[in-house]
């Protein structure tokens, strides 16, 4: 499965990030979200989220000294039990899609909500979609 990103259609409302943080943390703040929208007026925004199989080379996997990032059932995931919070994965991600939870000192990223992403149905303009791997 893959996220389809169409940034030209994004109106920067941030419903994706708000619903992600609510789903994942029970609280709402884009800081806790696995997806973020960066305004670049008048140009289209950046949508920062893991591209999964569309990411060439998936450099986060090799960057982790603790093998905490692995492909599980076709999805790149961080194993919280193995993550030591070393932050090495954060700068190598070409999509700025990995962030640090400063409370538990663990890295976090999108896990596609196990197959039913909370963000996708919130996007009314179709900037975000979800589909099969090409």
Partner 1 sequence: MSGSMYDRIIRIDCSRKSSSVWDVPDDLKPWIGGMGYGTKILSDEVNPAADALSPDNKVVLTVGPLTGTTAPLHAQSCIVTKSPLSGTILNCYAGGFLGAEIKYCGIDGVILEGAFSDWQVLIIDNDRVSFEPAGPVMGMGTEETENWIKEKYGSDYRTMSIGRAGEKLVRMAAVFSETRTFGRGGAGAVFGSKKIKAVAFRGTLGAELADTDEFKRIVKENMAVIGEACNQEFNLIAMFSRFGTGAGMGLIQSRGALATRNSRFGSFDHAEAISGQTYEKDFYTRWVSCYGCPVHCGRVHKFSTFDGGKTWARGPEYETMYSLGSQLCNGSPDVLAEANRLTEVYGVDSLTIGVTISFAFECAEKGLLSDDELSLEFGDPASILGLLRKIGEREGIGDILAEGPGLAAEHIGGGAKDFAMQVKNSGFAAWMPRRMVGTGLAFATSNRGACHKRAPIGAEITGQVDMLSYENKAQMVKKNQDVVNAVFTLISCRFHEFMTAHEVYPEYIRAASGIGMDLEEFYALGERIWNLEKIFNLKAGLGRNDDILPRRCFTDPVQGQNSEGSVLDYDRWQRMLSEYYSLRGWDDNGIPGRDKLVSLGIAEYGGGL
Task: Assess contact for 112 and 3: CB atoms under 8 A.
Answer: yes
| Nearest by Cα to 48 from 14, 87, 85, 86 | 14
Question: How far apart are the two ends of the chain, measured CA to CA in Å?
Answer: 9
Residues numbered 2 to 21 that lie near partner 1 (CB under 8 A) are: 11-15, 18-19, 21
- Among 67, 70, 125, 131, interactor with partner 1 by CB under 8 A: 125
Q: Does residue number 116 form part of the binding site for partner 1 (CB under 8 A)?
A: no
Inter-residue contact 111 to 75 (CB < 8 Å): yes
Tell me the DSSP string of 66-104.
T--EEEETTEEEE-TTT-----THHHH-TT---EEETTT
* By the rule CB under 8 A, 48 interacts with partner 1: no
Residue 97 CB, nearest distance to partner 1 (Å)? 17
- Shortest Å distance, C-beta 101 to partner 1: 11
Cβ closer to partner 1: 65 or 126? 126
Distance CA 10, CA 123 (A): 8
> Is 114 a residue that touches partner 1 (CB under 8 A)?
no
Using rule CB under 8 A, residue 90 touches partner 1: no
**Binding-site ranges for partner 1 (CB under 8 A):** 11-15, 18-19, 21-22, 25-29, 31-32, 41-42, 44, 122, 124-125
């Amino acid at each position: 499965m893959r996220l389809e990103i169409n940034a030209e259609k994004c109106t920067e409302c941030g419903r994706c990030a708000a619903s992600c943080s609510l789903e994942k943390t029970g609280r709402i703040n884009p800081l806790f979200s696995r997806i973020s929208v960066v305004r670049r007026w008048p140009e289209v925004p950046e949508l920062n989220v893991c591209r999964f199989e569309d990411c060439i080379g998936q450099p986060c996997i090799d960057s982790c000294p603790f093998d905490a990032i692995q492909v599980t059932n076709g999805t790149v995931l961080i194993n919280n039990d193995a993550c030591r919070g070393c932050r090495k994965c954060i700068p190598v991600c070409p999509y700025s899609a990995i962030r640090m939870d400063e409370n538990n000192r663990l890295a976090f990223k999108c896990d596609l909500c196990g197959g039913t992403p909370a963000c996708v149905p919130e996007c009314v303009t179709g900037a975000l979609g979800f589909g099969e791997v090409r």
